[in-house]
A and B are shown apart, each in its own frame.
Chain A
Amino acid sequence: MWDARTLETARPRAREPVWVWLSLSAGLLVLPLVLPSPYVVQAVDILLAALLAASLNLLVGYGGLLSLGHAAFFGVGGYVAGILVKRVGLPWFATAGIGTAAAVLTAAVIGFFCVRLAGAYFVMLTLAFGQLLYTVFWKWKEVTGGDDGLTDVFPPVPWTDSTVYYYLVLVVVGLALWGLWRVCESPFGAALKAVRDSPHRAEAIGIPARRVQWAAFTLSGGLAGLAGSLFVFHHGSMFPKAAGWQSSAEAVLMAVLGGPDRFVGPLVGAVVIKTLAFLVPRATPYWQFFLGLVIVLAAFLAPRGLVELRVRRRRWG
């Protein structure tokens, strides 16, 4: 049976020492200089996945709202940016901004409906809306390219070089994550957590619960859209699958397996899952089965996430 004590949410926050951050940034800066270029492409994917997972965690961890349609906003960002370059011919950095704005708008509309529900109903509704957008990307062939994907949307030189693009993504994702962290630590973040822990008490002290959740949903979708619009120019293409429920589920796994109670949890989860997703398919075509086993094990052994596992070991040692 489930033991509720394993998942109390209030825990003192352990601050990472400065040298951790310094060596991490230094490592990220020299990474593309050491890695062979196929791995740099992979590294950019991991950075974008980290942004996707962290933006989702604003809902899952801080808001207690489990969304299974998050990748759809990633798709909106990617498709809008890509389509505007390909079919209208706008400059690519402008369309990346427009793509993000479109994701913000979409998330605002969908969030308006979703935050009316809680718990399992919220899950069902986000899944349904996510698949609705996925269907649009998949079936609206004239505009999105349907199954064949939206292709040939590369940015001009020098941005086609994966090392150059890596640094761009590193800066943008770094800034976005820093901003998101500030939001999480702000009074707004505290209000969001208050609504998660006790909606009625939060309302009673004057927090507009639904509006706070709506704003979080919108911000979270917008950041996913930013990741999507960076993604489309990274690969020069966008496929419906990137917006489908598998991608949403993958983002949830990154957040939940990494550890949704901490800001770094989803980042760790993104690195682990993306690395697995890169390495395992080379060994077997049935890698989803393997991933399923890993998830079940993790659900039993580390229900609070990998980050907490490390903390616990440190405490014991």
Chain B
Amino acid sequence: MHAILGLQLISALVSASFLFLLAAGVWLVFGVSRFLNLAHGSLFMLSGFLAYALSEVLLDRGGFWVLVGTVPVLMGLLGAGLERLLIRRFYGAPLRVQLLPMVALIFMISDLCRYVWGEFPKGVPVLGRFGVVSIGGVTFPGYYAVVIAVSGGVALILGWIVQRTRWGRLVRAVAQDREMAAACGVDESRLATQVFAVGTALAGLAGVLVVPISGASLGMDVSAVIDAFVVVVVGGLGSILGAAATAVLVGLTQAFGILVLPQFAIAFVFALMAMVLVVRPKGLFGVD
């Protein structure tokens, strides 16, 4: 029993890691541009397949860490391009019009992945390289520890950037009052591109990290974006570390829900969400 609980705790932290990386991207873009990135999960899926495609070249020459470094950079560039060419034209549009290009992106990315990589899931077999770790009688793949450490590190760095650096101050200023920030000389249009690129790069990081565990597969796009949305709704628009704490809470709910009701574990997450909505509609860490 002790070992099972320990293992569930680890897997909760692993899923929390991915939840955080995904939610942070949605959260940043929505905070700065008031734009709901429905295609975030599709970018995540694309990164997964990209990681698989690059792994054939990079894994032998540079190793796994080169792969982990490359995919987010490529995705960040793609995100910047997308924002410049398509997405920025819809800022300030009514939500129902904003939705159109995003649904189109979901459809197109999904068919693109199907066309290039086919119907079947693709994996990158590197789990064995990281050995196993044993803590207090609980044994789990070392790679899990890597994922938790990377995403925890990203949470801290991102929190530091947003709270302490000049760029982070500009981001918070635009998020709080776009027009006032623009009037004070902040180039909000460039900032919007940068933030979208960062969000996409985070999706890229999540994508490359998830492939060794569960592979890249069609259909992971929508489940990922829903998970990210759940974290954003439960956590609310507050701080990066609040989003991280929410991700851990949702991850725990998921992992222990599986122990109780394996098929419908997702129901527990929804119960949590419903409770938060009734008690505190702006989210656990939300500020008005």
Q: Which residues of A are at the interface with B, using a C-beta cutoff of 8 A? A: 1-2, 4, 7, 60, 66, 68, 113, 116-117, 119-121, 123-125, 127-129, 131-132, 135-136, 139-140, 245, 249, 252-253, 256-257, 260, 286, 288-289, 291-293, 295-296, 298-300, 303
Contact = CB atoms under 8 A, between A and B. Distances in A.
B230 interface: yes
B91 A289 contact: no
A113 B270 CA distance: 11
A2 B226 contact: no
Secondary structure at the A interface, as helix, strand, loop or mixed, is helix
A136 B104 contact: no
B232 A291 contact: no
B96 A252 contact: yes
A293 B223 CA distance: 23
Interface residues of B, number: 46
Contacts of B264: 135-136, 139
Interface string B250-273: 000000000000011011001001
Main secondary structure of the interface of B (DSSP, over half): helix
Contacts of B34: 120
B140 interface: no
B89 A288 contact: no
B111 A140 contact: no
Interface of B: 30, 34, 36, 38, 86, 88-97, 99-101, 103-108, 110-112, 114-115, 222-223, 226, 229-230, 232-233, 263-264, 266-267, 270, 273-274, 277-278, 281
24 contacts: A2-B91, A60-B96, A66-B95, A113-B274, A117-B281, A120-B36, A120-B95, A123-B95, A123-B99, A124-B229, A125-B277, A128-B230, A128-B270, A131-B222, A249-B103, A252-B103, A260-B96, A286-B115, A288-B107, A288-B111, A292-B105, A293-B108, A296-B101, A303-B97
Contacts of B106: 249, 292
B101 A295 contact: yes
- Among B95, B101, B104: residue with most chain A CB under 10 A: B104
The 6 closest A-B pairs by CB, nearest first: A292-B108, A124-B229, A299-B100, A289-B111, A292-B104, A292-B107
Contacts of A121: 233
A252 B270 CA distance: 23
A288 B97 contact: no
Contacts of A119: 95
Given A116-B277, A135-B264, A303-B97, A1 B92 contact: yes
Identify which of B95, B115, B264 gathers the most chain A CB atoms within 10 Å of its CB: B95
Contact of B266 (A60, A132, A289, A299): A132
A219 to B, nearest CB: 19
A145 to B, nearest CB: 15
A127 B226 contact: yes
Given A113-B278, A116-B277, A289 B107 contact: yes
Nearest to B267: A132
Contacts of B36: 120, 123-124
A288 B95 CA distance: 22
A131 B226 contact: yes
B136 to A, nearest CB: 34
A117 B280 CA distance: 11
Contact of A295 (B103, B263, B273, B274): B103
A112 B91 CA distance: 30
Contacts of B93: 2, 7, 303
